[in-house]
Amino acid sequence: METVLVVNAGSSSVKFEIFDLTTSGDPQRLIKGQMDGIGTRPRLRANARDGSTLIDHSYEPREIADVPAAISTTAKWLRNTQTFKLIAVGHRVVHGGPRYDRPVIVDREVLAVLEQYNSLAPLHQPNNLAPIRSLLALRPELVQVACFDTAFHRSHSVVVDHYGIPERFYAEGIRRYGFHGLSYEFIANRLRDVAPEVAEKRVIVAHLGSGASMCALADGRSIESTMGFTALDGLPMGT
């Protein structure tokens, strides 16, 4: 069975899903799971397609002290218990910088570029890139695709994209990037299904959690975001 793994590695958790590509129509989810509480109360949980529990196991904090340890332990469990053929991996990556405005296949050159943005999203970018780096070393032939939280906002107008600073700084990459784009893109697409009479109009969407922001949509496209050069701009958040 050919499958795709989707990974969202954050600062305190690693979420993952595995999809079956052999069925007709849209890929079917086989497994949904996460390792959370990294470094404090680590716990690996995963459920099958029918909702049944595949694993629910807690670890000592020293066993899963960081994201690489969480990735390693989760990968070991998958290898030992599942028999599917993995042909590609998709990753959520917070910052695509000025270069990437759409998903991209990641090789070592692309990874080096993305590492330049670590300081702009220090709680997320290094963790997002950790599984990519591990898989490049272990399975260099495996296709890995990075999907960026900044990409959805690249449709902003020139006025919205610029700060009131000299143009040379914009050329160096200091601009309003916006974040949570994968969430907003999903919402924009779902609006066309659940509220088509609204989806093509002007809509304000809120992404609320430990990280929070708002986005203005027009015809399903981002025209403004409360977040800018880094994810610190805009609404007060968890920290």
> Rounded to an integer, what distance in angstroms lies between the CA atom of residue 39 and that of residue 111?
26
Catalytic residue among 66, 107, 149, 233: 149
Mutual angle of helices 125-138 and 67-81, in 10-degree steps: 40
pLDDT score for 136:
93
To the query of whether residue 149 is one of the catalytic residues in this protein, the response is yes
- Judge whether 62 and 81 are in contact, CB under 8 Å: no
Q: Model's pTM, two decimal places?
A: 0.89
> Rounded to an integer, what distance in angstroms lies between the CA atom of residue 50 and that of residue 185?
27
Q: What is the pLDDT along the chain (239 residues), one digit of tens a residue?
A: 899 999 998 878 999 999 999 888 889 999 999 999 999 999 999 999 999 999 999 999 999 999 889 988 999 999 999 988 999 999 999 999 999 999 999 999 999 999 999 999 998 899 999 999 989 998 999 999 999 999 999 999 999 999 999 999 999 999 999 999 999 999 999 999 999 999 999 999 999 988 899 999 999 999 999 999 988 889 998 87
- Judge whether 121 and 82 are in contact, CB under 8 Å: no
pLDDT score for 52:
97
- Judge whether 175 and 97 are in contact, CB under 8 Å: no
pLDDT score for 58:
97
pLDDT score for 12:
83
pLDDT score for 209:
86
> Rounded to an integer, what distance in angstroms lies between the CA atom of residue 96 and that of residue 206?
22
Q: What is the residue-wise DSSP string for 15-47?
A: EEEEEE-SSSSSPEEEEEEEEESTTTS-EEEEE
> Rounded to an integer, what distance in angstroms lies between the CA atom of residue 146 and that of residue 206?
24
